[in-house]
Amino acid sequence: MSVRFCQECNNMMFAREGRSGEKRTLMYSCRTCGTVEEMLQYEVPVYRNVVTKDRSDQTGGVSKGVASDPTLKRVVVPCRDSSCTGSLAVTWLKPVQKNDSKLVTFFSCVKCSFLWSSDDDSAS
C-alpha cells in the first residue's frame, strides 16, 4: 500500500473501510478535509498473521547461550537432561503470564545449555 496525499489539501490520506449497502470496500480518507477516494484493486493490502505457541515464549525468549551470562545467578542443581552430567545451572525468574503475580524459576545447564523450569516436569 503506497502513501497517498489528498488532492485538495495535500495532507496524508489514511486507509479505512467504506460501506455502500452490503458492499464493503477499502478507501483512502483525508482526516483534514474529508475527501474520500476508493482504493484501486492492486493497492488493496493482503495480510496473513499466523500465531503459534512456542516454548521459547515460556522461557522469555532466552537463547541457549544464556548459560554463559556472568550476570545471572548460578545454583548447584543436577541437569535434567539424562545425557548430561552437569551440576551447575544459571537461574532466572519470569511471570507465568502477563499481569500474573506467580513467578516461575527457569534453569539453564552451564555444561549443555539444556532449559527447564521448576513449574513442571516437562523440559524443552
- For residue 124, pLDDT beyond 60: no
Of 19-23, 24-28, 43-47, 65-69, which range is least confident? 43-47
Residue 116 grid cell: 527447564
pTM score, two decimals? 0.47
pLDDT above 90 for 33: yes
Q: How confident is the model at residue 22 (pLDDT cuts 50, 70, 90)?
A: confident
* Helix then strand then coil, % of the chain, to nearest 5: 10, 35, 55
What does the pLDDT average to over 12-38?
86
Give mean pLDDT, residues 98-119: 82
Please choose, from the candidates 105, 112, 104, 64, the residue with its C-alpha nearest in 3D space to the C-alpha of residue 88.
Answer: 112
- How do residues 40-81 score in pLDDT, each as one tens digit? 777 666 666 677 665 555 555 666 678 788 888 999 999 998
Those residues whose C-beta lies under 8 Å from the C-beta of residue 12, and which sit 6 or more positions away, are: 3, 4, 5, 6
Domains of the chain by start residue, with CATH = 1-47 (2.20.25.10), 55-117 (2.20.25.10)
> In this predicted structure, what is the pLDDT of residue 119?
73
pLDDT score, position 30: 93
Q: Summarize the confidence of residues 16-45 as an average pLDDT.
A: 82
Q: Where are the alpha helices (DSSP H) in the chain?
A: 55-58
